[in-house]
Chain A
Amino acid sequence: MPSLRSRPSLRSTITFETLNRKLHYYLGLYFLVFMWMFSFTGLLLNHPQWKFGEFWPQRKETRFEKAIEPTPAANDLDRARDLMRQLNLAGEIDWPDRQAPGRLDFRVNRPGRTNRIGVDLARRRASVQQIEINTWGVMSVLHTFSGTPANNPNAKRDWALTTVWVVAMDALAAGLLLMVLSSYYMWYRLKQEATLGGYRIDGWRPQLRLLFRRPDVAAVESRLRSRRAASRSPCS
């Protein structure tokens, strides 16, 4: 039976343990479909030879030309945004390494659709090549869609939905980190309980011992229950 002095710390340990366990499975449940999506698309990216996941050979390409209004914008980014508005396009802007004089060339990307836009500023005409890919392609692109390739120091995200997607990916990564850390804590506590549960464990061997001789789970659970009951009773 714990002493009165040790009870507040025991209570906080049990509270932390409960919160930690809840955090582990609540995060797991919230991010379940995210995790499945990234797991599956990770497999697709690592196995481009899988025929069912092919998307590039099945792409659909269309082209059109349209007259454009001259844009008063001062820089290329604003000019491109104005042109996108005129062409009714939305997505992340991707710039080529250099622009030819008298032209404004850029791409507008979103998962599933790429638009290659070439504008002849003197003739005030824009030619648009649209490439659409199938659902497998959309899934694969989502896995890598960040708007800022690491090897392009000048790239900046300029579409709000790219930022939303990046935040979702960051949240999944942070959630996964927390899940792993919470699982380490649960394992650590289980190890302690296993020690209390009846067999000796020393040094770095507990994992191996646990692998070969499973702990008496019922005994550990019963011990936890009685400790919780003891911590809840007003005087003991």
Chain B
Amino acid sequence: MPKGLYIWTRDLHLYLGLFISPFALLFAVSVFFLNHGRTPVDAATARVAIHDLRVPLGIEEAQGMERVHLAAAILAQVDVTGEINFIRYVSKERRLIIPVVKPGVETVIDLSVEARTATVTRRRTTTWETLSYLHKSPGPHNAAIRGNWFWTRAWRWAADATVYLTLFLSVSGIYLWAVLRSERKAGLILLVAGIVSLGGIIYAVAA
């Protein structure tokens, strides 16, 4: 057994594990809210109206990321930051509904293009909601516009890094377990039990 490899693997397992542990804790803790929690329906909101806005030309016709970029100019005027979600255009009333999300706050900007006014509704989210938002971010929806806020892109990078490091930790963990001869049998039984459990549940749920 090359001792250098063992020591390096153990150190990397330890320090990379410590590095991602806050992320692992966040992803683990938020599972309980995602599985059992409820978003409060009567959550307190704050609403303000803002007038005399400078509405960017072409915001009504633009689509996808182009519209998001134009909407960002509105966000700057109403002092809102965050990830812009799908923007809904109500053509009859010439209104744009711009939902903006960031950890801790959900905002909806209801912009009247003709009147150049916006009603900004803010809702402070609970800690559980914030954790589950981070768990689900950036997610599969609205892929064409996702990551229009710097911190969403940074979080995507962090979430990916957590996955890659978790994979490294599991592989290095297997190596560290394999060198413990006295634990091989019990470990192998648990490994097989885990595979059988997961396979069995997936078969029952999805087959």
Contact = CB atoms under 8 A, between A and B. Distances in A.
Contacts of B202: 111, 138, 142
A189 to B, nearest CB: 11
Interface string B163-207: 100110010011011001001001100110111011001101110
Contact of B28 (A46, A110, A166, A177): A177
A48 B159 contact: no
B24 A39 contact: no
Nearest to A155: B38
Interface of B is mostly: helix
Interface in B4-42: 7, 10-11, 14-15, 17-18, 21, 24-25, 27-29, 31-39, 41
Contacts, number: 143
Given A25-B173, A32-B194, A164 B24 contact: no
B198 A180 contact: no
Contacts of B14: 183, 186-187, 190
A207 B7 CA distance: 17
Contacts of A210: 15
A118 interface: no
A36 interface: yes
A161 B173 contact: no
B29 A166 contact: no
B18 A187 contact: yes
Given A25-B173, A29-B194, A36-B167, A164 B15 contact: no
Contacts of B2: none
B126 to A, nearest CB: 11
Contacts of B138: 46
A175 B36 CA distance: 17
A150 to B, nearest CB: 5
Contact of A214 (B11, B177, B190, B195): B11
A165 B156 CA distance: 26
B58 interface: no
Instruction: Give chain A's interface residue range (CB within 8 Å of chain B).
Output: 35 or more
Instruction: Give chain B's interface residue range (CB within 8 Å of chain A).
Output: 35 or more
Contact of B31 (A32, A44, A170): A170
Interface string A33-52: 11111011011111011000
Contacts of B35: 146, 148, 166, 169-170
Nearest to A40: B163
Contacts of B18: 183-184, 187, 207
Given A33-B198, A146-B35, A169-B35, A45 B163 contact: no
Contact of B205 (A140, A150, A165): A165
Given A173-B31, A183-B17, A28 B206 contact: no
A45 B191 contact: no
Given A28-B177, A35-B170, 4 more contacts: A25-B173, A166-B35, A168-B197, A207-B15
Interface of A: 22, 25-26, 28-37, 39-40, 42-46, 48-49, 110-113, 138, 140, 142, 145-146, 148, 150-151, 153, 161-162, 164-166, 168-170, 172-174, 176-177, 180, 183-184, 186-187, 190, 207, 210-211, 214, 217
Closest 6 CB pairs of A and B: A173-B31, A176-B28, A111-B206, A30-B194, A48-B143, A48-B140
